[in-house]
């Protein structure tokens, strides 16, 4: 989506994840696969927590995401980064 900074007010950036996600995607495309770094996981975790999710570390490089209504889901850390990316995309479309 094009964004004209001279005609429209800049979007508010509220997390480091929002700033880093473009770099992450470019790196994944160059590599031909999704490769998640420890920094990527930390940035995604911060974003998810800022947007109302509780993030719990589990054994075996897994994470439990607890939504505001108490429903939870366990997943690999890489999947949690993709959940954060989906949430950001949904916010941008709203």
Q: What is the pLDDT of residues 59-78, one digit of tens each?
A: 998 999 998 788 999 999 99
Q: What is the pLDDT of residues 13-28, one digit of tens each?
A: 778 999 999 999 999 9
In this structure, what token pair is assigned to residue 15? 């997390």
Q: What is the pLDDT of residues 31-56, one digit of tens each?
A: 999 889 999 999 999 999 999 999 99
- The DSSP secondary structure of 38-88, one letter per residue, reads HHHHHHHHHHHHHTT-EEEEETTTEEEEE-TTS-EEEEEHHHHHHHHHHHH
In this structure, what token pair is assigned to residue 72? 């939870």
Which positions ≥6 away from 2 have C-beta within 8 Å?
Answer: none
């Amino acid at each position: 989506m094009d964004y004209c900074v001279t005609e429209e007010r800049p979007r508010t950036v509220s997390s480091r994840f929002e700033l880093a996600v473009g770099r992450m995607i470019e790196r994944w495309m160059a590599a031909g696969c999704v490769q998640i770094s420890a920094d990527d996981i930390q940035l995604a975790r911060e974003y998810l927590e800022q947007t109302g999710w509780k993030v719990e570390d589990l054994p075996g490089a897994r994470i439990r995401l607890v939504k505001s209504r108490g429903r939870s889901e366990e997943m690999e850390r890489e999947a949690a980064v993709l959940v954060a990316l989906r949430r950001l995309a949904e916010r941008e479309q709203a």
